[in-house]
């Protein structure tokens, strides 16, 4: 299906403004050739992209628009020693060599710029409002929190972007998700993301670019907005958006790769023109009352299988998922024993997430028999947390304090859970085996994860004093 642009002169959404500003050509098949401003690379999705360039004898068109980092397979401890896993070592070495060969900046594993690709780019001001940004990774939607048109692409598209700085794409339909009112204590952006997925379903936003709006979204920090946009892919959408505003500009000002001086002023003037026009029309509208959202937790093996922590496990055709998860329909989830906790990922590995977890962790000790990992999303986040003494706080409470990477979000490094383990995790996917074959994942907010670590069971964070 082709989704036509709004007629000339008609009010436009943020998505349409971004699209129109980057359209180079219109194809006969309804596709648009889009100019791509920036490209992020990681070690897992790019080997084939570079191989393509080599085979076709192509160079990288604008190397300065590309930024690479290793995150998925990197170990999160003993980083001064050789990798235990030779495959992971080879993957990282290949990215390093490919970047050197093609003139792309690579943020070294031992350097201060390293971290999860979706955390480092905003950290450094490489992600900006008004740009198009792609990465061979489905959670590229994270960057839409800045009012950037950002989406995940495949390995061959990464190669095309490197060689041509452009991609053929089909315009999506537009969905607006309005969170009315204000969040209540103990409820965070992660709960909004999970509540959204629970409302529309795991495929409910397929084919849509989702703009998040409403008072509760405007009240979110950039960290919270990133958490929200990060998870749209779990509802089937490739693109999440929040209109840029003073919160966005305050976050970006002074970051190393953001514009400076007169360039900054000119950029802000342009960015202020981007929000959706007042009477712009969306193809779908969803309204969620933020004040009615309780802390959320997934009970199944898809992020759409999500419930309130104070509810009972539903019996909605999820028999296979419940069997895998070792849960029974009709039982409360509050009080369910857990043995692992993971605080990190591109969903919840930013400083605000670590602060939220630390605010709970400071009240106790990790329960006996529970292993709890805190994995900062980037070196910058790690350094900031250490400056605030959060590392000491976590360690004193019995948590492990690691080096940045994807870690237990995807278990592609040596952080992996044993079969039958049950984990309260701040990541974004609870698929079968995601944290290790046979391991069970419950997606929750950082505060809920920390509370579970101390209690040794799922607990409604609102009931803690
Ligand atoms: C490995 C990578 C391509 C993958 C993705 O596309 O998202 C990973 O980051 C994930 O979260 O599953
Ligand atoms: S932290 Fe998880 S979701 Fe994010 S990029 Fe890494 S593996 Fe993917």
Boundary of a domain, candidates 117, 147, 170: 170
409 is in an annotated binding site: yes
Site to substitute for ligand 2 among 68, 69, 72, most atoms within 8 A of C-beta = 72
Residue 18 lies in a domain: yes
Calculate how far, in angstroms, residue 378's C-alpha sits from the geometric centre of ligand 2. 12
Q: Judge if 158 and 179 occupy the same domain.
A: no
The pLDDT tens digits of the residues spanning 102-139 come to 999 999 999 999 999 999 999 999 999 999 999 999 99
Residues 306 and 344 in one domain: yes
| Residue of the CA atom closest to atom 1 of ligand 1 | 44
Say which CATH number the domain at 279 has: 3.40.1060.10
pLDDT given at position 458: 98
Residues 6+ apart with CB under 8 A from 88: 73, 74, 75, 412, 413, 414
Residue 9 falls within a domain, yes or no?
A: no
The set of residues, in sequence order, having a beta carbon less than 8 Å from that of 11 and lying 6+ positions away, is 276, 277, 278, 279, 280, 281
Mean pLDDT in residue range 319-348? 98
Residue 254: inside a domain: yes
ipTM over 0.85 threshold: yes
Residues 25 and 116 placed together within one structural domain of the fold: yes
If you measure from the C-alpha of residue 72 to the centroid of ligand 2, how many angstroms do you get, rounded to a whole number? 7
**Helix (H), strand (E), coil (C) string for 23-40:** EEEECCCCEEEEECCEEE
pLDDT for the residue 465: 63
Q: Ligand 1: which residues within 6 Å by Cβ?
A: 44-45, 72, 137-139, 152, 410
Tell me whether residue 5 is in a domain: no
How far apart are alpha carbons 187 and 296 in whole angstroms?
Answer: 8
Q: Are residues 51 and 93 in the same domain?
A: yes
**What is the residue with the minimal CA distance to atom 9 of ligand 1?**
137
Atom of ligand 1 nearest to the CA of 139: 7
Domain final residue, candidates 170, 191, 215: 170
Percent of the chain scoring above 90 in pLDDT: 97
What's the confidence (pLDDT) of residue 1? 42
244 and 358 inside one domain: no
What are the backbone dihedrals phi and psi of residue 322, each rounded to the nearest 5 degrees, phi first? -65, -35
Q: Which ligand is nearest to the CA of 74?
A: 2
Residue 101's CB is within 10 A of a number of other CB atoms, namely: 12
- Residue 96 belongs to a domain with what CATH number? 3.30.499.10
Same domain? For 306 and 452 the reply is yes
Let me know whether 150 and 263 are in one domain. no
Q: How far is the centre of ligand 1, averaged over its atoms, from the C-alpha of 94 (Å)?
A: 18
What integer is the mean pLDDT of 154-170? 98
pLDDT at position 2 over 80: no
pLDDT in tens, 228-274: 999 999 999 999 999 999 999 999 999 999 999 999 999 999 999 99
DSSP string, 367-391: PTT-EEEE--SBHHHHHHHHHTTHH
Please report whether residue 366 resides in a domain: yes
Q: What is the pLDDT of residue 315?
A: 87
Structural domain containing residue 106? 14-170
One domain, residues 189 and 95: no
| 346 belongs to an annotated ligand binding site | yes
CA distance 286 to 28: 32
Same domain for 388 and 265, yes or no, is no
DSSP string, 264-325: HHHHHHHHTT-SPPTT---SEEEEEEGGGPPPEEE-SSSTTSEEETTSB---SS-HHHHHHH
pLDDT classification of 316: cutoffs 50, 70, 90: confident
How many Å apart are CA 430 and CA 222, to the nearest integer?
24
- Domain-embedded: residue 7: no
Of 240, 271, 291, which marks where a domain is finished? 291
Q: How many domains does the chain have?
A: 3
């Amino acid at each position: 299906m082709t989704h036509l642009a709004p007629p000339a002169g008609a009010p436009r959404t943020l998505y349409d403004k971004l699209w129109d500003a980057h359209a180079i050509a219109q194809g006969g098949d309804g596709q648009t050739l889009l100019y791509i401003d920036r490209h992020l690379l990681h070690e897992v999705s790019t080997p084939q992209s570079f191989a393509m360039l080599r085979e076709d004898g192509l160079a990288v068109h604008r190397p300065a628009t590309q930024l690479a980092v290793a995150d998925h397979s990197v170990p999160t401890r003993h980083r001064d020693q050789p990798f235990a896993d030779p495959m992971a070592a080879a993957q990282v070495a290949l990215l390093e060599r490919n970047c050197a060969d093609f003139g792309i900046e690579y943020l070294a594993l031992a350097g201060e710029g390293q971290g999860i690709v979706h955390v480092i780019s905003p950290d450094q001001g490489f992600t900006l409002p008004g740009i198009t940004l792609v990465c061979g990774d489905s959670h590229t939607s994270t960057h839409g929190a800045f009012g950037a048109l950002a989406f995940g692409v495949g390995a061959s598209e990464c190669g095309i972007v490197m060689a041509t700085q452009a991609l053929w794409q089909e315009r999506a339909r537009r969905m607006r998700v309005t969170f009315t009112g204000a969040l209540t204590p103990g409820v965070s952006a992660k709960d909004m993301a999970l509540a959204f997925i629970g409302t529309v379903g795991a495929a409910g936003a397929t084919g849509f670019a989702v703009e998040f709006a409403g008072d509760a979204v405007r009240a979110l920090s950039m960290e919270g907005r990133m958490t929200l946009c990060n998870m749209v892919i779990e509802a089937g959408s490739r693109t999440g958006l929040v209109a840029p505003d003073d919160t966005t500009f305050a976050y970006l000002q002074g970051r190393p790769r953001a514009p400076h001086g007169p360039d900054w002023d000119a950029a802000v003037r342009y960015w202020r023109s981007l929000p959706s026009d007042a009477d712009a029309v969306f193809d779908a509208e969803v309204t969620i009352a933020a004040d009615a959202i309780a802390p959320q937790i997934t009970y199944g093996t898809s992020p759409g299988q999500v419930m309130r922590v104070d509810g009972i496990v539903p019996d909605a055709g999820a028999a296979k998922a419940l069997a895998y998860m070792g849960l029974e329909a009709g039982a409360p989830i509050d009080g369910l024993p857990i043995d692992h906790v993971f605080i990190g990922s591109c969903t919840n590995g930013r400083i605000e997430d670590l602060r939220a977890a630390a605010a709970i962790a400071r009240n106790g000790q990790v329960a006996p028999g529970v292993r709890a990992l805190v994995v900062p999303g980037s070196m910058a986040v790690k350094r900031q947390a250490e400056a605030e003494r959060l590392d000491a706080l976590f360690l004193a409470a019995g948590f492990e304090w690691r080096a940045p990477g994807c870690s237990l979000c995807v278990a592609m490094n040596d952080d992996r859970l044993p079969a039958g383990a049950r984990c309260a995790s701040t990541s974004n996917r609870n698929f079968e085996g995601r944290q290790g074959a046979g391991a069970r994942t419950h997606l929750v907010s950082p505060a809920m994860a920390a509370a579970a670590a101390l209690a040794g069971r799922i607990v409604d964070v609102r009931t803690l004093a």
